């Protein structure tokens, strides 16, 4: 699979999008002035992870289930962040395709 080279700004936007909800908003604002496929791809992925995490806050207090969910979310977050840092358009495991389809309206 040949990787398309992306600008450093696109990678920076992608990385910032994974750093909290405020980071996502900042990345989205920057993206409006410098649109790229890589940036929008990771904006969608990171938004999905953030929303899933926010919904999952209600299960964190449940022993074992909450801990497993927290570990799962951490793995998704780290995976997405690594892909963004490497400049790769790869979906996060399990939910990545769902996030891309759910947020396809974000352009």
pLDDT tens digits for range 81-91:
999 999 999 99
- Asked whether residue 87 is assigned to any structural domain, the reply reads yes
| CA-based torsion, 9, 11, 14, 20: positive or negative | negative
The DSSP code for 19 is S
- Asked whether residue 78 is assigned to any structural domain, the reply reads yes
- Asked whether residue 57 is assigned to any structural domain, the reply reads yes
Query: How far is 36 from 57, CA to CA, in rounded Å?
Result: 32
- Asked whether residue 104 is assigned to any structural domain, the reply reads no
Taking phi over 0 as left and psi of -120 to 50 as alpha, with beta for the rest, 100 belongs to alpha
- Asked whether residue 76 is assigned to any structural domain, the reply reads yes
- Per-residue pLDDT tens over the stretch 6-45: 778 889 999 999 999 999 999 999 998 888 899 999 999 9
Q: Which residues contact 67 (CB under 8 A, 6 or more apart)?
A: none
- Asked whether residue 3 is assigned to any structural domain, the reply reads no
Number of domains in the chain: 1
Domain range for 42 is 8-99
- Per-residue pLDDT tens over the stretch 60-85: 788 899 889 989 999 999 999 999 99
């Amino acid at each position: 699979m040949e990787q398309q080279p992306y600008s450093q700004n696109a990678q920076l936007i992608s990385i910032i999008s994974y750093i909290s909800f405020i980071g996502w908003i900042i990345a989205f604002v920057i993206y409006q002035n410098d649109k790229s496929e890589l940036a929008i791809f990771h904006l969608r992925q990171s938004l999905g992870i953030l929303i899933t995490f926010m919904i999952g806050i209600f299960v964190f207090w449940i022993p074992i289930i909450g801990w497993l969910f927290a570990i799962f979310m951490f793995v998704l977050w780290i995976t997405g962040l690594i892909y963004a840092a490497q400049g790769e358009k790869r979906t996060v495991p399990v939910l990545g395709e769902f996030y891309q389809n759910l947020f396809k309206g974000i352009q």
